Structure 1
Amino acid sequence: MSEAVTRPVPSASRSAGLLASLEPLLREWLPRQRWFAGKGRPVTGFSLVSVTEVLPVDSRQGLLHLLVRAHQPLVPTQSAPSHPGDCYQLLLGVRETLPPQLAPALIGRPAEGPLAGRAVYEALYDPRPADVLLEALRGGARIGELRFERDTRQEIRGDLAPRLVTAEQSNSSLVYGDTFILKLLRRIVPGVNPDLELPLALSREGCPRVPAPAGWMLADLAGESYVLGVLQPFLRGATDGWEFALRALAGGEDFSAEARALGRATAEVHMALARALPVVTLGHGQMRLLTDGMTERLEAAVQAVPALRPYAPGLRSAFDALADLAGEGHTWTAQRIHGDLHLGQCLRSPSGSWSMIDFEGEPSKSLAERRLPQPVARDVAGMLRSFDYAAHSLPPVPGSTGPQDTGPSAVPGWADACRAAFCSGYAEVGGGDPRMDPVLLRAYETDKAVYEVVYEARHRPDWLPVPMSAVARLARPEPS
């Protein structure tokens, strides 16, 4: 590693030539990646934020770390009047010839520039670059503008065989010997990332429900710090909650005991976060901003999905009821939460214990928004909606992309039993049953269902009936 650590950052002219030679390849390759956020909009160009030769590109096997901004047309909005383009983290391997086993990782061969004629490929498929990253984390290395840090209380062995997790969505992960998992963030923003911040805070509190970070990867650029990746213990044999729930559904098994245990785990995480980080009180002014945002999202959703229009008055009443309570002087406690909680963000170990992962929050929201204290009801509502999705999402028949039965009674009573058990489990640990604040919970669940309608209409039309069935339920007047 000594050569890689001391290698200087390429000069500006060399970097410009490098980007120019890679741009035609990236225009084709980047939009096809599952973690690329700008699908459906053409890429008009790239700009280089950072480039580091982790392994020299003029050697037999080079490794480039790039932060590249992809420029795309975007209609300005009030929340994002001038969007400079998303910044992506790329790890590119460079070889003269590519071994057959790495053929699927090939990005292309630049026609000109410093890499002309050489094979450029997605380096995460290659064990050698993966080993380099682990060794840098073990040694707390600095490589150009990259900084690797670790928790010295955890042992990181250097003989762990790496493998790429191929089922990733918004990021990429490497598993090392079923001992650690390195999550590499793909869309990069400056600042404190909750995907590192919150697990570290929970680790200090001794919360066992979240794997404690063993190491992390940063970049220091122009006076700002960027979180690039987090290394955490790998929960061997664990099953994500979504898959576990669908197995239960397919086997006709009751899931309420698991839902109750998941409610207890959620409450434990919330209580640990409340001890570790500031808790605030939301009064009339803050709640007015919150409900106004919910109403604005509903109005935009109605324009995007006309099928929502008949339900809009009933849905709006959920937000109005919350605003009325705030106007009467009611207040709510807000704290740091998971921010994007659903069954897929939870892992069940073979022993039956539940853990939580992926504290990044909703990728569509800004980092500042994701780090705001919020009522725990938002996390609870996300999980309640996840139970509803599972109930309508039996494993699809071969060749189908959507649920078998998207009617509101796909699995009668299953979601209701899970929802009730989750809230009961939460109350056993957290001291308060989320159902005891029905106005707040209904508002958050309505906001989530509206978001789901827009997402499904744009990306998975076959699934649209699932959130629409929730919309029909939530739009009905609540009993007094």
Structure 2
Amino acid sequence: MSETASTARAPVALLPSLVPLLHEWLPRQRWFAGKGRPVTGFTLVSATELLPVVDSAGPGLLHLLVRVQQPGLAPSAQADCYQLLLGVRATLPPALAHALIGRVPDGPLAGRTVYEGLRDPRLASLLLERLRTPGPMGPLRFSRTVAIPEGLTPRVLDAEQSNSSLVYGDAYILKVFRRIWSGANPDLELPLALARAGCSRVPAPVAWYETVNNHPEPGTLGVLQPYLRGSQDGWQLALDALADGRDFTDEALALGRATAEVHTALAEALPTVALGRPQTENLAIQMTRRLDAAAQAVPALLPYVSGLRTAFDAVGKLAAEDVTWRAQRVHGDLHLGQTLRTKDGDWSVIDFEGEPAKPLAERRRPQPPVRDVAGILRSFDYAARSFRPWNADWAERCRDAYCTGYAEASGTDPRDEPALLRAYETDKAVYEVLYEARHRPDWLPVPMAAIRRLAAQPTP
């Protein structure tokens, strides 16, 4: 993305006038990735008036891409870029008081009130209107695949963390990406590929918008997809089954089939590669490094490091014996919360963004499908450990049923690759320990139980 601005409202003076407000507001947002580090500066990438922000009696809508400088960046790394949709009004009505960012003291918006634009139904409706009428708008480009009806009432979903989502009339859901990267976001790229391949397990994108300002690879800003009204996410379904003392193996079996269908369609739609010795050895090295770093940050891991490392050593040993694995595009962050069961009882897979904290190039890299499988297996364990007493049999039955369903649909049983599956499960559990220690210490016993099990597991 080029470091230019496109707005009729004195772009050079715009950002400095907003900086005091952004310094206070931005670090408090759930989707801000730089928490815990001071903000040292801002750089304007682009500014676009989606609705005039000054010469208007009503609200204006200002679209900004802003780079946020923080200490700790590698010399060659760029500062994080964030997408902001700022509402601008002379005065803020009481109904929007919760969306307030602040009053601008000087500059082109002097005396105006700035607020989170997505919280304003009028401005949220305008964003959908832009998607209904595709084409360029300054450094932005809007695209759609089908006609979109007008007059759909918007509402914000408050459950999102790394992004923001709006539901329009219970017909569509728009995911607005907050941290922006150059290049196609997998949450657009992969569902588009699956739709073209005829895979019905993933809601097909209806519309999207992106930044195209003098850059060879557009950066995805938002994706509109059908809203699966009445569906339930797999995490809540699993918790409900546990609370009711019900078995969940039928659902796990069907989910395994659905996952395999998605993987099969992705392998047909996009290139696959073979992981040779160098790539597999590097995979084992990276997993070992993550383990060592996590153990330094979370001392509770230290007694288990040697046992856990055997999982990664086993993969490295197989690589030295010239064992290869097939790699393809995968979900990248699959767990029960990324699955939905519709009113008809069918499973869908959603949120193909991958792990948002990782660089886009890494998230788009082909990987063995067992990475996704390991994510779901860990999720069954998490669900079961949310209840007391811990129901180990429930989790194990779900894990077996899921792998069986996957094998039935794909012809390949994940359990036939025990070394790779164990390595990915271990890597995921190490990540979970680090996450819980930092964000939810009360949950740390959940992944630590898996750490003890995996560290004691014999090498396949």
* TM-score, normalised with respect to structure 1: 0.92
Contact kept? 2:140, 2:213, Cα under 8 Å: no
Partner residue in 2 for 1:446: 426
Change (3 A) 1:56 1:439: same
Render the CA deviation track for 1:173-220: whole Å, top value 9, x for unaligned. Answer: 111111111111000010121111100000001100000001110111
Partner residue in 2 for 1:72: 70
CA drift of 1:453 comes to 0.8
CA drift of 1:479 comes to 6.3
Structure 2 residue identity aligned to 1:111: P
Render the CA deviation track for 1:126-182: whole Å, top value 9, x for unaligned. Answer: 12211211111111032211110010xx33101211111111111011111111111
Q: Is structure 2 residue 431 aligned with structure 1 residue 433?
A: no
Structure 1 residue identity aligned to 2:100: L
CA distance in 1, matches of 2:21, 2:357: 26
2:246 counterpart SS class: coil
CA distance in 1, matches of 2:75, 2:427: 24
Partner residue in 2 for 1:15: 11
CA distance in 1, matches of 2:439, 2:399: 27
CA distance in 1, matches of 2:352, 2:326: 20
CA drift of 1:81 comes to 4.5
CA distance in 1, matches of 2:107, 2:150: 35
Structure 1 residue identity aligned to 2:269: A
1:221 counterpart SS class: coil
CA distance in 2, matches of 1:377, 1:81: 35
Q: Is structure 2 residue 392 aligned with structure 1 residue 412?
A: yes
CA drift of 1:326 comes to 1.6
From 421, 433, 437, the counterpart of 1:457: 437
Partner residue in 2 for 1:63: 61
Length, aligned pairs only: 453
CA drift of 1:83 comes to 3.3
Partner residue in 2 for 1:195: 187
Q: Is structure 2 residue 177 aligned with structure 1 residue 185?
A: yes
Structure 2 residue identity aligned to 1:30: L
Q: Structure 2: 5+ residue runs without aligned partners?
A: none
CA distance in 2, matches of 1:295, 1:81: 25
Structure 2 residue identity aligned to 1:103: A
Write out aligned runs for 1:286-301 (5 A): 286-301=279-294
Render the CA deviation track for 1:341-385: whole Å, top value 9, x for unaligned. Answer: 001111111111110111111112111111111100100001111
CA distance in 2, matches of 1:63, 1:126: 10
CA distance in 2, matches of 1:389, 1:38: 27
CA distance in 2, matches of 1:251, 1:31: 40
Write out aligned runs for 1:367-406 (5 A): 367-394=360-387, 405=388
Partner residue in 2 for 1:43: 39
Change (3 A) 1:457 1:476: same
Partner residue in 2 for 1:400: none
CA distance in 1, matches of 2:86, 2:459: 58
Contact kept? 2:310, 2:459, Cα under 8 Å: no
2:212 counterpart SS class: strand
Partner residue in 2 for 1:95: 89
* TM-score, normalised with respect to structure 2: 0.96
1:169 counterpart SS class: coil
CA distance in 2, matches of 1:305, 1:363: 22
CA drift of 1:10 comes to 2.2
CA drift of 1:120 comes to 0.6
Structure 1 residue identity aligned to 2:20: P
2:392 counterpart SS class: coil
CA drift of 1:263 comes to 0.5
Write out aligned runs for 1:4-403 (5 A): 9-10=6-7, 14-58=10-54, 59-60=56-57, 61-74=59-72, 80-151=74-145, 154-224=146-216, 225-394=218-387
CA distance in 1, matches of 2:141, 2:81: 18
CA drift of 1:456 comes to 0.9
**Alignment RMSD, CA only?**
1.4
2:95 counterpart SS class: helix
CA distance in 1, matches of 2:53, 2:75: 39
Structure 1 residue identity aligned to 2:114: V
Contact kept? 2:419, 2:459, Cα under 8 Å: no
1:475 counterpart SS class: helix
CA distance in 2, matches of 1:100, 1:143: 32
Structure 2 residue identity aligned to 1:164: V
Contact kept? 2:155, 2:167, Cα under 8 Å: yes
CA distance in 2, matches of 1:184, 1:357: 15
Contact kept? 2:23, 2:39, Cα under 8 Å: yes
Question: Percent identical across equivalent pairs?
Answer: 66
2:164 counterpart SS class: strand
1:34 counterpart SS class: coil
CA drift of 1:84 comes to 2.9
Structure 1 residue identity aligned to 2:7: P
Q: Structure 1: 5+ residue runs without aligned partners?
A: 1-7, 395-404
